[in-house]
Amino acid sequence: MTQMGTTIHSPARRVSAAMAEAIATRDLAAMERLLHPEATVWHNTDGVTLARAAALEGIGQFFAAARQCGYADVRLAETGDGFVEQHIAEMAFGQDGPLLRVPCCLVVTLRDGLILSIEEYLDSGAFAATAG
């Protein structure tokens, strides 16, 4: 839908696009602005739920280690309170590290236009295979 030449997106699509941009540019401040004050992040790889501050610390460490990161083949389905996003997480580490492509699914809940929770399902087998 457009209005006067401007594309109008739902809150879910705006947040998804802003998160992808923050990841691609490794912009921790942008990620911080996207997270609700009560935000939590859970990862299937360790089963741990992180509060906002700990999640931001982990994201910052990831950004510092990655020389490149981003999402490819993004598919998004809006839900009543957020969205489910499937994508290929692309990342490279170190000066000469290969580009890793890992299937990922995010279940994101929004509140007040901000991310209240992220459940991240990462294909750890694919990560191990591409990292090995």
Select the CATH number that applies to the domain covering 10-131 from these four: 3.30.379.10, 3.10.450.50, 1.10.230.10, 1.10.760.10. 3.10.450.50
Residue 27: how many CB atoms within 10 A of its CB? Answer: 15
Per-residue tokens: 46: 């360790």
> How far from the centroid of its chain's Cα atoms is residue 102's Cα?
13
pTM of the entire structure? 0.88
Q: What residues does 72 pair with on adjacent strands?
A: 88
For the residues of 28-79, what is the DSSP string, one character each?
A: HHHHHHHEEEEEEEEETTT-PEEEHHHHHHHHHHHHHHEEEEEEEEEEEEEE
Give per-10-residue mean pLDDT for the chain (132 aa).
54 95 97 98 95 97 93 95 96 90 96 97 75 57
